[in-house]
């Protein structure tokens, strides 16, 4: 989307549940003795059950007096959360945050204009306790204060981002009124300090899956004292708020046509369906597509080999065009596809007898190559994803050609060569023409919820309508997984 298209799209649903209303109240008299709060509520035509925190009500009489009954009232749904003088110049800001296992992406918005003011990304400080969620769960089990510690790290990092946003954009942290957060189930539990130990072992039970709304101050976040942090709902122990947000972002839950959503990261989350039915599963694809566990694997940074074409010279390109430092997810997918195309590996993934070597050199100078073991990692990962897709398709009793859209979400999806993904069998080849890259669908969905009460409601409806298939006890999955190892 162009910037202009993006703005037009935001306009179409912009309807935030945080609003500021200016009002000049009639002054009380012996003929009009309404109490201050009722005066405000009636004049603003608010719901009679409008709530107000006691701490804020304590400031109301002075506000009315000081500003001669001209007041600016900040509302969040049916709760009054702040007062300012009439026509106060300060604005309302909100943040959408996608907390990944590895990276955090934060977006700052003006809640009155819907304008995106800033973006910031950083690394999840919990990395120090393991690169995957299981090692973090283990930390909460084995260390007495492990859960509090991991929660504290996220809160500290969010406060750090808040500080940067405020400084860079010259805004006051008390003008930040909402944080909408998405992430996988374990991250959501850790952020709220809620035990997640049962997600680690069968039957993989999360403590909660519903949308949570908590006063940000209660979590120790330095924004407006009456502001909330909202976590979008989860589906199961392995399908999180990030997937719900991505489903919202791609619009598949409102479509008559059937779509397939693939969010490929450390796990591969797959959602299949349309407005009538949504099925999901999570496959332990492993982090190979993120470059992890690959001999020369690195993330999508400058110098990462991101595309490979054996007919070209050099046979690769790198991100940023700099000298190669390693190979990222899209690069390894391309490599395997090319090796298959030129029969350097066979359909079992073995280097062929004709080829006669046990590795494939991508760049001699920097000595970057792909090993048999690397190819096995890719096989495992793509077998998991493709088996997951097949199980969902079978469960829905449809044929592949009924799938009209394939949405690829996640950073990996932005760089991948779809042709290569189809060749290695990560994406069903017959669907390759229907692939659409949606970028960080999780972040986009979080932003949509921040900017629109309707979208927030839709996210909750999506949560209710997605059925989760547990693959670990499905014989059909195991079989499809083994078969899926073939190229």
Question: Site residues (CB under 8 A) for its own copies?
Answer: 28-38, 54, 57-58, 60-62, 192-195, 197-198, 202-210, 212, 214, 218, 234, 236-237, 468, 470, 472-473
Closest approach, Cβ 388 to its own copies, in A, equals 16
> How far, in Å, CA of 270 to CA of 471, rounded?
12
> How far, in Å, CA of 192 to CA of 314, rounded?
49
The most distant pair of C-alpha atoms in the chain lies apart, rounded to whole Å, by 100
Contact 98, 77 (CB under 8 A): no
Closest approach, Cβ 296 to its own copies, in A, equals 38
Nearer to its own copies, 11 or 49 (CB): 49
Nearer to its own copies, 137 or 250 (CB): 137
Closest approach, Cβ 209 to its own copies, in A, equals 4
Q: Which of 14, 16, 75, 13 is CA-nearest to residue 44?
A: 75
Nearer to its own copies, 137 or 423 (CB): 137
Closest approach, Cβ 363 to its own copies, in A, equals 46
Q: 176-198 burial by CB neighbour count: b if 16+ within 10 A, else e?
A: bbbbbbbbbbbbbbbbbbeebbe
Closest approach, Cβ 463 to its own copies, in A, equals 11
Contact 290, 412 (CB under 8 A): yes
Nearer to its own copies, 114 or 240 (CB): 240
Distances (CA, A) of 487 to 167, 311, 390: 52, 21, 15
The helix or strand, by DSSP H or E, that contains position 183, with its residue range, turns out to be strand 176-183
Nearer to its own copies, 228 or 415 (CB): 228
What's the sign of the alpha-carbon dihedral 312, 313, 319, 324?
Answer: positive
- Cβ atoms within 10 Å, residue 348: 11
Closest approach, Cβ 390 to its own copies, in A, equals 20
> How far, in Å, CA of 134 to CA of 334, rounded?
29
Closest approach, Cβ 218 to its own copies, in A, equals 7
Nearer to its own copies, 2 or 142 (CB): 142
The helix or strand, by DSSP H or E, that contains position 213, with its residue range, turns out to be strand 212-215
């Amino acid at each position: 989307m162009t910037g202009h298209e993006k703005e037009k799209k935001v306009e179409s649903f912009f309807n935030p549940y945080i609003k500021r209303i200016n009002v000049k109240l009639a002054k009380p008299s012996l003929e009009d003795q309404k109490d201050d709060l009722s005066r405000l509520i009636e004049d603003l035509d608010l719901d009679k059950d409008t709530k107000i925190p006691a701490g804020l009500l304590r400031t109301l009489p002075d506000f009315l007096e000081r500003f001669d009954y001209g007041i600016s009232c900040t509302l969040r749904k049916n709760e009054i959360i702040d007062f300012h003088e009439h026509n106060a110049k300060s604005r309302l800001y909100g943040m959408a945050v996608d907390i990944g296992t590895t990276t955090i992406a934060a977006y700052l918005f003006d809640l009155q204009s819907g304008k995106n003011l800033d973006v910031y990304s950083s690394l999840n400080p919990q990395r120090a306790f393991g690169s995957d969620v299981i090692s973090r769960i283990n930390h909460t089990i084995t260390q007495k204060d492990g859960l509090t510690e991991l929660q504290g790290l996220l809160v500290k990092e969010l406060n750090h981002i808040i500080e940067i946003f405020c400084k860079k954009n010259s805004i006051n942290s008390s003008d930040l009124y909402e944080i909408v957060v998405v992430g996988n189930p374990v991250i959501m539990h850790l952020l709220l300090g809620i035990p997640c130990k049962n997600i680690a072992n069968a039957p993989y039970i999360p403590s909660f899956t519903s949308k949570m709304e908590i006063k940000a101050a209660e979590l120790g976040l330095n924004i407006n004292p009456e502001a909330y942090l909202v976590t979008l709902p989860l589906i199961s122990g392995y399908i999180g708020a990030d997937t719900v947000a991505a489903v919202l972002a791609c619009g598949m839950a409102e479509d008559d046509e059937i779509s397939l959503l693939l969010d490929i990261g450390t796990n591969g989350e797959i959602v299949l369906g349309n407005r009538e039915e949504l099925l999901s599963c999570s496959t332990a694809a492993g982090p190979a597509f993120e470059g992890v566990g690959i001999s020369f694997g690195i993330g999508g940074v400058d110098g990462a080999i991101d595309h490979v074409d054996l007919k070209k010279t050099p046979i690769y390109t790198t991100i940023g065009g700099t000298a190669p430092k390693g190979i990222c997810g899209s690069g390894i997918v391309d490599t395997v596809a090319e090796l298959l195309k030129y029969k350097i590996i066979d359909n079992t993934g073995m280097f062929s007898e004709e080829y006669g070597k046990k590795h494939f050199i991508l760049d001699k100078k920097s000595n970057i190559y792909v090993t048999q073991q690397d190819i096995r990692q890719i096989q495992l990962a793509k077998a998991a994803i493709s088996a997951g897709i097949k199980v969902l398709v079978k469960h829905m009793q449809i044929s592949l050609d009924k799938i009209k859209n394939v949405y690829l979400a996640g950073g990996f999806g932005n760089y991948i060569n779809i042709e290569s993904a189809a060749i290695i069998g990560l994406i069903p080849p017959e669907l390759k023409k229907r692939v659409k890259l949606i970028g960080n669908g999780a972040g986009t969905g979080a932003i949509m919820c921040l900017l629109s009460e309707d979208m927030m409601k839709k996210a909750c409806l999506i949560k209710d309508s997605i059925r989760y298939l547990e693959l670990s006890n499905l014989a059909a999955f195991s079989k499809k997984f083994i078969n899926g190892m073939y190229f």
